[in-house]
Chains A and B, each alone.
Chain A
Amino acid sequence: MNMRKTADSLWRYLLLSLISLIFLLPIVWLAVVSVETPRNAEVSLSSVMSALIDNYSDAWKTGGFESAFMNTFIISIFAVLLSDILGLPMAFVLARAKNMGYGFLERVLFFFRMLPEMVFLLPLFVIYRKIGLFDTAIGMVLAFQIITLPYTVVLLKSYIYKLSPSLEDAGRVDGCTEMQVLFRITTPAIATGLAATSILCFISIWTNLMFPLVLSYSEAQTVSIAIASFKGYGTFKWSTMAAGAVLTTLPQLVLFGFINKYLVAGLTAGAVKE
C-alpha cells in the first residue's frame, strides 16, 4: 500500500519536472546565448565575463536602448499615475453604489477589453498625425489609457468591494466629505491592492508592442520597439539579440516578484462576478 502511494506521487513529480524543464530550458538557453563568447575562444570565467560585458553593451548601444528605457519609464509612470488618479474615484463609486445601472457600466469596460487593438490604433494614428501628438510621450500616455484605465477601475473596484464600508460610514458620521472618505479612509486601506494594480499596469505598458509600433517613430520609442528592431537582421549576432532580450525582461521580473500573489486577480480582472 505504502509502496503504491510513493510510486503514485513519484510519477506526478516526474511529470511536473519534465513540464517545468520544457518551460525553463528556452529561457536558460537565452541567458546562455547572451553571454556566449566569440567562436573558438577559450571558455573560462574571464572570457565569459568579458563576453557578458561586450554583448550587453553592444545591445545597449545598437538597439537605442538608452533612450528607449528612459522613454518607457517616463511613459509608464505617467500613464499609471493618470489611471490611478482617474480610476480610484470611479472604482469607489462602482464598488459602493447600489445603482443597478452601474453593472452595465462594468460590462462596457469588459467589452472594451475585448476589442482588437487595431480598431483604436488606426484612427489614433490618423488623429495623432493631424494634431501633432504622433511620436510624443504625451500621446503615448493618453493612448495607453485605453488599456490601463478600464483595467485599473475594474481591479480597484474589486479591492474596495471586499472592504467593509463600516469604517467609511464612521468617517461620514464624523463629518468627512466624500472626497476625504475616499482619500483618507478607503485609499490607505487598499494600498497594497493599489500598488499591485499599478505594477500590473506598468508591466502591461512595458511589454506592449503594438501601441509604440503604430503611434511612435523615434522620439517616443519604447523598449519593445528597441528589442523588435533586432528581428529584421537574419544574420544578426544572436548573442547581442539575446542580451537585449534579457535587458528588457529584467525590470519585469523584479516587478513580478512583488505581485506574485495578485497575479490571478490581475489575469481575470473584470471577467469574474463577485
Chain B
Amino acid sequence: MKTQTRFMIPALVVMAIVILGPLMWGIGVSFCDWNWAEPNGMDNIRVSGIKNYIEMLQDPLFRNSILNTFLFSFIALAVEFILGMACALLLNSIRNGALLYRTALMFPLMLSDIVVALMFKMLLNPSQGILNRMLMAVGMASPINWVGDASLVIPSLALVDAWWQSGNLTLIILAGLQSIPQSLIDMSMVDGASAFTRFRYIVFPYTQPFIKTAIVLRLIDLMRVFTLPWAITGGGPGRASEMTQVFIYTQGMGKYMRMGYSNALAVTFALIVVVVIAFIQKCWKAEE
C-alpha cells in the first residue's frame, strides 16, 4: 500500500468506530423492542421488525414535532437571511468603523446556545422580564406571554435564534461581497448603472454561491435545534414548541427509555434532514 493511503488509516478507523458504529447499531436497534422502563427491560431485547416504524407513522406527536421544527426553521431562516443580507450590505458600504460594527454584530455568535436560552428565558418572562417591562413603559396595555402562548411560542423561539445566529449569515455573505473585484464596481459606476442594476448583475451573481452555502448550513443547524426549546420552554406550552430532537430525546433516555422506538425516530429524522438538504441542492444545481 502506498505510504500516503496508509496515513488515513488511523482517522478512518476511529471514524468507523465512533461514527459508523453507533449509526449501524442504531439502525439495528430501531427494528427491535427494547424498553428500559420495564422491569429487567435492559436485558430484554426482542426483534420486532418494522413495528416501531408503523407506530411512528401513526404517532401524532411525531408529526407535531416535525411540523413545529419546519415552522421554526422557516421563520428563523427567513429572518436571519433578511437581517444577515442587510447587515452585510450595510457593513460593505460604510467607510469608517466597519470593524467596530462587525464585532458588535457577531457578538451574539460567541455565546453558547444554552447561555442564549437562559438569557432569553429571563428576558421573555411575562411578568419579570425586561422586554415586557420596557414595552409596558412605552405604552403597551398588557404583557405579552412570549413563550407561554401556544400561537406565539414558535415565532418567539425563531426570533431568539435569529438574534443569536444572524451574524453567521452576515459574515459569510460579507465574505462574498468582498470577493467582488473593485474594478467591476468602478466600471459600472462609470457606465452610470443604477444601484439596482449593479445589485442584479454584479453583486448578486458574485455573492450567490456564498448565500447558498450559508442557507444550507443554517438550515442543517435549524432543523436539528434542541437547546433553545429544551431549555426555554421544555417543549411547552403543551406540545406547542416540541421540536423533533427534543421529542426523540424524551422518548429515549430523556424520559420513557424506549430505546427501539426512539432509535427508529432518530433514523427517520436523519433521513428527513438529508432528503430536505439534498432536494434543495438538487434544485439549485438544476438552475445553473
> A interface vs B, CB < 8 Å?
9, 12-13, 15-17, 19-20, 22-24, 26-27, 29-30, 33, 82, 85-87, 89-90, 92-94, 96-97, 111-120, 122-127, 129, 142-143, 145-146, 149-150, 153, 177-178, 182, 206-207, 209-210, 214, 224, 227-228, 230-231, 238, 241-242, 245, 248-249, 252-253, 256, 263-264, 267-268, 271-272
B15 near A: Cβ within 8 Å? Answer: yes
> B interface vs A, CB < 8 Å?
3-5, 7-8, 10-12, 14-15, 17-19, 21-23, 25-26, 29, 42, 83, 86-87, 90-91, 93-95, 97, 101, 104-115, 117-123, 128, 130, 163, 166-168, 171-172, 175, 209, 213-214, 216-217, 220, 223-224, 226-227, 231, 244-245, 248-249, 252-253, 259, 262-263, 265-267, 269-270, 273-274, 277
In the complex, the answer to whether A127 meets B25 with C-beta atoms within 8 Å is yes
Kindly provide the distance from the CB of A210 to the nearest chain B CB, expressed in whole angstroms. 6
In the complex, the answer to whether B269 meets A153 with C-beta atoms within 8 Å is no
In the complex, the answer to whether B167 meets A150 with C-beta atoms within 8 Å is no
In the complex, the answer to whether A89 meets B118 with C-beta atoms within 8 Å is no
Q: Which residues on the A side are within 8 Å of B95 (C-beta)?
A: 9
Kindly provide the distance from the CB of A130 to the nearest chain B CB, expressed in whole angstroms. 9
Of all chain B residues, which has the CB nearest A255? Answer: B110
In the complex, the answer to whether A228 meets B172 with C-beta atoms within 8 Å is no
In the complex, the answer to whether B213 meets A272 with C-beta atoms within 8 Å is yes
In the complex, the answer to whether A118 meets B217 with C-beta atoms within 8 Å is no
In the complex, the answer to whether B114 meets A16 with C-beta atoms within 8 Å is no
State whether A182 and B209 are in contact (beta carbons under 8 Å apart), knowing that A113-B220, A122-B252, A227-B115 are contacts in the complex.
Answer: no
Give CA–CA (A267, B172) in the complex, Å.
8
Kindly provide the distance from the CB of B238 to the nearest chain A CB, expressed in whole angstroms. 18
In the complex, the answer to whether B263 meets A123 with C-beta atoms within 8 Å is yes
State whether A149 and B14 are in contact (beta carbons under 8 Å apart), knowing that A27-B108, A29-B130, A93-B4 are contacts in the complex.
Answer: yes
Kindly provide the distance from the CB of B250 to the nearest chain A CB, expressed in whole angstroms. 11
In the complex, the answer to whether B107 meets A23 with C-beta atoms within 8 Å is yes
Q: Which residues on the A side are within 8 Å of B107 (C-beta)?
A: 23-24, 27
- Which of B7, B25, B168 lies in contact with A182, CB distance below 8 A? B7
In the complex, the answer to whether B118 meets A245 with C-beta atoms within 8 Å is yes
Kindly provide the distance from the CB of B94 to the nearest chain A CB, expressed in whole angstroms. 6
In the complex, the answer to whether A249 meets B114 with C-beta atoms within 8 Å is no
Listed by A's residue number, 11 A-B pairs whose Cβ atoms lie within 8 Å are: A23-B108, A27-B111, A115-B273, A116-B270, A122-B26, A143-B18, A209-B114, A249-B112, A263-B109, A271-B217, A272-B213
In the complex, the answer to whether B4 meets A178 with C-beta atoms within 8 Å is yes
In the complex, the answer to whether A124 meets B7 with C-beta atoms within 8 Å is no
Closest 8 CB pairs of A and B: A207-B112, A89-B7, A20-B104, A123-B26, A123-B22, A90-B11, A86-B11, A123-B25
Q: Which residues on the A side are within 8 Å of B90 (C-beta)?
A: 12, 15-16
In the complex, the answer to whether A87 meets B11 with C-beta atoms within 8 Å is yes
In the complex, the answer to whether B213 meets A268 with C-beta atoms within 8 Å is yes
In the complex, the answer to whether B3 meets A178 with C-beta atoms within 8 Å is yes
Q: Which residues on the B side are within 8 Å of A120 (C-beta)?
A: 19, 22-23, 26
In the complex, the answer to whether A30 meets B119 with C-beta atoms within 8 Å is yes
Q: Which residues on the B side are within 8 Å of A115 (C-beta)?
A: 23, 270, 273-274
In the complex, the answer to whether A116 meets B130 with C-beta atoms within 8 Å is no
In the complex, the answer to whether B175 meets A241 with C-beta atoms within 8 Å is no
Kindly provide the distance from the CB of A128 to the nearest chain B CB, expressed in whole angstroms. 10
State whether A23 and B245 are in contact (beta carbons under 8 Å apart), knowing that A87-B11, A117-B224, A123-B26 are contacts in the complex.
Answer: no
Give CA–CA (A242, B116) in the complex, Å.
11
Give CA–CA (A142, B7) in the complex, Å.
20
Q: Which residues on the B side are within 8 Å of A26 (C-beta)?
A: 108, 119-120, 123, 163
Give CA–CA (A94, B111) in the complex, Å.
33
Give CA–CA (A253, B10) in the complex, Å.
33
Q: Which residues on the B side are within 8 Å of A92 (C-beta)?
A: 4, 7
Give CA–CA (A24, B245) in the complex, Å.
29
Q: Which residues on the B side are within 8 Å of A113 (C-beta)?
A: 220
Q: Which residues on the A side are within 8 Å of B83 (C-beta)?
A: 19
Of all chain B residues, which has the CB nearest A244? Answer: B118
Of all chain A residues, which has the CB nearest B123? Answer: A26
Give CA–CA (A238, B119) in the complex, Å.
10
Q: Which residues on the A side are within 8 Å of B171 (C-beta)?
A: 263-264, 267
Give CA–CA (A172, B220) in the complex, Å.
42
In the complex, the answer to whether B110 meets A150 with C-beta atoms within 8 Å is no
Give CA–CA (A17, B96) in the complex, Å.
13
In the complex, the answer to whether A19 meets B105 with C-beta atoms within 8 Å is yes
In the complex, the answer to whether B223 meets A116 with C-beta atoms within 8 Å is yes
In the complex, the answer to whether A124 meets B22 with C-beta atoms within 8 Å is yes
- Which of B14, B21, B266 lies in contact with A116, CB distance below 8 A? B266
Q: Which residues on the A side are within 8 Å of B19 (C-beta)?
A: 112, 120, 145-146, 150
In the complex, the answer to whether B7 meets A119 with C-beta atoms within 8 Å is no
Kindly provide the distance from the CB of B170 to the nearest chain A CB, expressed in whole angstroms. 10
Q: Which residues on the B side are within 8 Å of A241 (C-beta)?
A: 118, 122
Give CA–CA (A214, B227) in the complex, Å.
13
State whether A29 and B224 are in contact (beta carbons under 8 Å apart), knowing that A118-B269, A267-B171 are contacts in the complex.
Answer: no
